[in-house]
Amino acid sequence: MSEAILEPTAAEPAPVFHTPAQEASARLKELFPDVVSDETREGYEGLAVYADSLPEIAKALRDELGFNYLSSVTGVDNIEEGKLEAVYHLYSIARGGGPVVLHVQVDRNEPVIPTLVPVFRGAEFQEREAFDMFGIHFQGHPDLRRILTWDGFNGYPLRKDWHEPFFEEQHKPFGSRWPEGEVFRAEEKTPYGKNVQYPAGWLPTGDEYDVETDVYLGLSYSRDATPGLRTDKVTVNLGPQHPSTHGVFRMVVTLDGETIIDLKPVMGYLHRNHEKIGERNTFIMNMPFTDRLDYLSGVSNNFGYALTVEKLFGLSVPERAEWLRILTAELIRIGNHLWALGFLLNDLGALQTPMLYFYIERELIVDFFEALTGSRMMHNYMRFGGVAYDLPDEVRGVPTMKYLEEMVFNRLPRVLEQGDELMTGNEIVRARSIGVGYLSPADAINMSAAGPLLRASGVPYDLRRAEPYSFYDRLDFDIAVRYNGDIYDRYLVRMDEMRQSLRIIEQVLPHLRRTEGAPIIGDKPQYALRAPRGGESYGRVENPKGELGFYVTAKRRDGNPSRYHVRAPSFINLTTLGPMSRGYKVADVVAILGSIDIVLGEVDR
């Protein structure tokens, strides 16, 4: 069908493509001339696509054009046009660079979009999330259930006409706060018992309350592992209250003896609808909320959000602020990985004590952040166009630069050495982790795994290199990559990454000395920012857990984002948990989950 359209004329020069994404978009328009067109809305990029042909387009992108990584799937409620929209961001692992963005608009009353799960398994949880939040039906999805809210939840919370029980106004700041400020507590207006709505005909005491059936039915039953012996499969809940799950997270597992036959993660116990809050908020109000996503790497979340909004607003960042951003992001990466390794040991059965050996140094990092930003974990450090604070005079009584040098050249390398000594050669660690929880490179890409999980499977994809942001292109470092795709390699990748982070910080320190006294923010910050242009913006950073993306849309002159979406690496990495765990023992699953390194604040959002 495409040949008929291609009528090359001799006079027309071959088009010049600056990025792989442009090239792929042009090719797509040739391949699917009737259903793919350029997105025409102001400030939007990418392609507008008809819903029906989405799977074919995705397949062509994956197989022919090399855009094989589906980073983000999300919904948008365009209530004025009466449309629901699904937005897909696809990247090329091999070629790097920017995304091909697909926009699919469907009627709000009949939102049906064919599923992408057969093409990209990474879409599974994200489509479920879009179904949960917007009520978009993904036709053909193997397991389309609510994922973050529960089955007795009424309505689709991210639709613009849905109001939470403590609803006050559409957007902050609320009028009741000033100038007439009459204080009240939210519970007074919506007392306990009246703050829950159930779907029509749904009774909390009725039979429908047995919502778990769906979860259990979804688990596949295979034939007996031991032929000839009549055995029963047992379905067991690991969690939600279980120390091995790193928070309130549940794994429903079907067991044959000790062997995992199937596993389904159940999440949402910490769900607070971060995105709805984000859409009520003004732009700047979201910054401290991002700290609460992956609370182990608050400043890195700030980074992602700041980049996204700076892209939308067209702001530039002064040099010193960029170096400070990289310094903090890399320090927090080390802090996060120290935490992850400690917990991995914990999950492998070396309870508590060895974990603390890593935390002594993490404590130094946290102390540094306390002196720099005023808070140990909820940093709220970055602002649009810069950072909030310059380096402090001293940290714990030591001049800041000396403290940093002591950390970077002495303490942190030493703790990595100690980690090597403790874990790398340890026979128990090796026996428990080598060959366990295997994830093949093809699966890792297909399931949208990100960060150390992806790189431990032999895919050298690091956003700091693939699509460099900030000053990462000026720095000399390697992408940490290992090839066996098991728990042990994930551990090694994290060790390598910490070494690379140290290498980066070593290069950043002279720049910090050089730029001493330079400005750290572009303009005098404003408390009421308005979007200078309408449109969308997708920014992503390489978080310690993986690719953290923010999708923000706004209307011109608006003070609030009209859509605020977080592509949470912990959440999407969990797609791999079920396939990785099949065939291993119960005790291994705990370690496999530990090796993914999730934070529930980010999973449940």
Partner 1 sequence: MYGTGILKGLGVTLRHFFQTYADDLRWAGKGGRYYNDEAFAVRQSPEAQGVITVFYPEEKLAVPERFRFVPFLVTDDPPPGQRWGHDWCTSCGICAKVCPPQCIWIERGKLPNGRPKPEPVNFFIDIDICMNCGYCAEFCPFDAIKMDHDYELAGYDRSTAHIHDKARLSKPLSYWQEISPKRAAAEEFGRQMAESAKTKKKGPDEEAAPGMPNDVARQLPYRGAQY
Provide, rounded to whole angstroms, the least separation between the CB of residue 27 and partner 1.
44
Instruction: Tell me how far CA of residue 16 lies from CA of 21, 26, 167, 208, in angstroms.
Output: 12, 11, 51, 59
* Spatial CA neighbour of 86 closest among 56, 50, 124: 50
Token duo for residue 413: 């390398």
Residue 173 interacts with partner 1 (CB under 8 A)?
yes
Report how many residues bind partner 1 under the rule CB under 8 A: 72
Distance CA 92, CA 68 (A): 6
8 vs 425 by CB, closer to partner 1? 425
Closest to partner 1 by CB, 273 vs 281, is: 281
Stretch near partner 1 under the rule CB under 8 A, chosen from 38-46, 89-97, 111-119, 513-521: 513-521
Q: From the list 94, 422, 479, 586, which residue makes contact with partner 1 (rule: CB under 8 A)?
A: 422
Report if residue 218 touches partner 1, rule: CB under 8 A.
Answer: no
With binding defined as CB under 8 A, does residue 411 bind partner 1? Answer: yes
At 80 the three-state DSSP class reads coil
| Token pair recorded at residue 488 | 């042990």
Q: How far apart are CA 268 and CA 129, in angstroms?
A: 10
Query: What is the rounded CA–CA span in Å between residue 336 and residue 463?
Result: 18
The stretch among 151-159, 247-255, 403-411, 470-478 that binds partner 1 (CB under 8 A) is 403-411
Q: Is 375 in the site for partner 1 (CB under 8 A)?
A: yes
Instruction: Check binding of 49 to partner 1 (CB under 8 A).
Output: no
The set of residues, in sequence order, having a beta carbon less than 8 Å from that of 187 and lying 6+ positions away, is: none
Residue 257 or 392 having the CB closest to partner 1: 392
With binding defined as CB under 8 A, does residue 41 bind partner 1?
Answer: no
Please name the helix (run of DSSP H) or strand (run of DSSP E) that holds residue 394, with its range, or none: strand 394-395
When the beta carbons of 408 and 475 are compared against partner 1, the nearer one is 408
Q: Which range touches partner 1 (CB under 8 A), out of 43-51, 331-339, 393-401, 483-491?
A: 393-401
**Two tokens, residue 586:** 């119960």
Q: Which one, 344 or 449, has the nearer CB to partner 1?
A: 344
By CB under 8 A, tell whether 155 contacts partner 1: no
Between 91 and 368, name the residue whose CB sits nearer to partner 1.
368
Q: Which of 26, 112, 351, 428 binds partner 1 (CB under 8 A)?
A: 428
Q: Which of 389, 409, 438, 471 binds partner 1 (CB under 8 A)?
A: 389
| Residue 373 lies near partner 1 (rule: CB under 8 A) | yes
Phi, psi of 34 (to 5 degrees): -85, -25
40 neighbors 48 (Cβ within 8 angstroms): yes
Among residues 142, 170, 177, 218, the one that binds partner 1 under rule CB under 8 A: 177
d(CA 492, CA 337): 11
The answer to whether residue 384 forms part of the interface with partner 1 (CB under 8 A) is no
**311-481-511 Cα angle (round to 5):** 50
Q: Based on the shown chain and the rule CB under 8 A, indicate whether residue 174 belongs to the binding site for partner 1.
A: yes
Question: Is residue 248 at the binding interface for partner 1, with CB under 8 A as the rule?
Answer: no
Q: Which of 136, 371, 548, 603 binds partner 1 (CB under 8 A)?
A: 371
Interface region with partner 1, contact rule CB under 8 A, candidates 76-84, 119-127, 332-340, 386-394: 386-394
Name the minimum Å distance from CB 342 to partner 1: 13
Cα dihedral value 244, 246, 247, 249, nearest 10: -70
Which residues, in sequence order, are bridge partners of residue 86?
75, 104
Q: Does 97 bind partner 1 (CB under 8 A)?
A: no
Q: Please, what sign has the CA dihedral across residues 323, 328, 331, 332?
A: negative
Q: Are strands 137-139 and 112-114 parallel, antiparallel or unpaired?
A: parallel
Q: Which of 392, 460, 534, 535 binds partner 1 (CB under 8 A)?
A: 392
Please name which of 569, 571, 574, 576 lies closest in space to residue 547, comparing C-alpha atoms. 569
Pick between residue 41 and residue 414 the one whose CB is nearest to partner 1: 414
**Cβ distance 337 to 537 under 8 Å?**
no
Q: Which stretch binds partner 1 (CB under 8 A): 181-189, 303-311, 442-450, 454-462?
A: 181-189
Region near partner 1 per CB under 8 A, out of 38-46, 204-212, 515-523, 590-598: 515-523
Q: Residue from 96, 118, 257, 374 that binds partner 1 (CB under 8 A)?
A: 374
CB nearer to partner 1: pick between 23 and 390: 390
**Looking only at residues 279 through 318 of this chain, which bind partner 1 when binding is defined by CB under 8 A?**
281-282, 284-289
Residue 400 CB, nearest distance to partner 1 (Å)? Answer: 10
Q: What letter would DSSP give residue 407?
A: I
| Cα–Cα dist 174/67, whole Å | 44
d(CA 427, CA 360): 25
Q: Is residue 382 within the footprint of partner 1 (CB under 8 A)?
A: no
Residues 342-361 that bind partner 1 (CB under 8 A): 353-354, 357, 360
- Could you tell me the smallest distance in angstroms from the CB atom of residue 463 to partner 1? 27
29 lies in the site for partner 1, by CB under 8 A:
no
Query: Which one, 385 or 546, has the nearer CB to partner 1?
Result: 385
Angle between helices 586-596 and 487-514 (to 10 degrees): 20
**Residue numbers 453-472 binding partner 1 by CB under 8 A:** none
User: What is d(CA 556, CA 524) in angstroms, rounded to the nearest whole number?
Assistant: 21
158 binds partner 1 (CB under 8 A): no
Quick check: 427 binds partner 1 (CB under 8 A)?
yes
Nearest CB to partner 1, comparing residues 97 and 374: 374
Q: Which is nearer to partner 1, 238 or 404 (CB)?
A: 404
Nearer to partner 1 among residue 481 and residue 505 (C-beta): 505
Residue 547 bridge partners (DSSP):
542
Residue written as token pair 């309350």 = 209
Pairing of strands 535-543, 546-554: antiparallel
Encoded tokens for 125: 């949880």
Among 61, 423, 463, 591, binds partner 1 (CB under 8 A): 423
Torsion, Cα of 67, 121, 543, 436 (10° steps): -120
Residue 289 Cβ vs partner 1, minimum distance, rounded to whole Å: 6
- The correct pick among 21, 35, 58, 391 for binding partner 1 (CB under 8 A) is 391
Q: How far is the C-alpha of 49 from the C-alpha of 35, rounded, in Å? A: 6
Tell me the residue ranges of DSSP E strands in 239-351: 241-242, 247-248, 250-256, 259-266
Please give the backbone phi and psi of residue 332, each rounded to the nearest 5 degrees, phi first: -70, -25
Question: Is residue 426 part of the contact set for partner 1 (CB under 8 A)?
Answer: yes
Tokens 């939040």 correspond to 133
164 binds partner 1 (CB under 8 A): no
Structure tokens at 454: 């992806």
